[in-house]
């Protein structure tokens, strides 16, 4: 087979550790995370060990020497469907490779961009409501005793 991987999709693989089938994509992500930092591990909480409130059954745990293990991030199943975004989050937030100020500035820029986007959307909706109210007050296009909006005539 000239070096190409046979199973490159998202096959299900049985894990005797958790006692259920897991995604090969998740297994691959776990390997990449551990290769990136040998003290980082992707863990999965099996269904039989979860309660109804567990919406994020995956977690990235740090098990560094001379430190108690701690969870770095909890992940939901939909988040796990985008492993590149998880890796991007890890790489961008790595203080061993980036200055903390740079990481904070990137996070702040994303927050500001999201706020600007939301504010613009809110402004547009407000403008549309104002225009509709102005048309209603003026009596519609023909200035008679009725008003048309979205193909519906109101008296």
| pLDDT for residue 25 | 83
| pLDDT for residue 133 | 82
Q: In Å, how far are 26, 37, 72 from 104, measured between CA atoms?
A: 29, 21, 17
The ranges assigned to domains in the chain are 12-98, 109-154
| pLDDT for residue 124 | 92
Q: Which residues contact 69 (CB under 8 A, 6 or more apart)?
A: 61, 62, 63
- Phi/psi at 72 (nearest 5 deg)? -90, -40
- Phi/psi at 138 (nearest 5 deg)? -75, -10
The one-digit pLDDT tens for each residue of the chain (155 residues) are 333 334 445 666 666 666 666 677 888 898 999 999 999 999 888 777 778 787 888 999 999 888 999 999 999 989 998 999 999 888 888 877 878 888 888 889 989 999 999 999 999 999 989 988 877 777 655 556 666 667 777 66
| pLDDT for residue 2 | 39
| pLDDT for residue 71 | 92
Q: Is 9 helix (H, G, I), strand (E, B) or coil?
A: coil
| Radius of gyration of the chain, Cα coordinates, nearest whole angstrom | 26
């Amino acid at each position: 087979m000239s070096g190409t991987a046979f199973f490159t999709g998202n096959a299900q693989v049985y894990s005797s550790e958790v006692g259920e089938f897991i995604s090969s994509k998740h297994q691959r992500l776990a390997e990449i995370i551990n290769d990136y930092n040998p003290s980082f591990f992707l863990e999965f909480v099996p269904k039989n060990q979860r309660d109804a409130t567990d919406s994020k059954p995956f977690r990235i745990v740090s098990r560094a020497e001379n430190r108690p293990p701690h969870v770095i991030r909890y992940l939901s199943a939909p988040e796990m469907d985008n492993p590149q975004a998880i890796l991007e989050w890890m790489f961008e937030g790595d203080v061993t490779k980036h200055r903390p100020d740079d990481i904070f500035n990137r996070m702040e820029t994303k927050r500001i961009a999201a706020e600007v986007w939301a504010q613009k959307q809110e402004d547009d909706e407000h403008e549309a409501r104002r225009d509709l109210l102005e048309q209603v007050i003026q009596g519609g296009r023909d200035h008679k005793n009725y008003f048309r909006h979205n193909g519906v005539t109101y008296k």
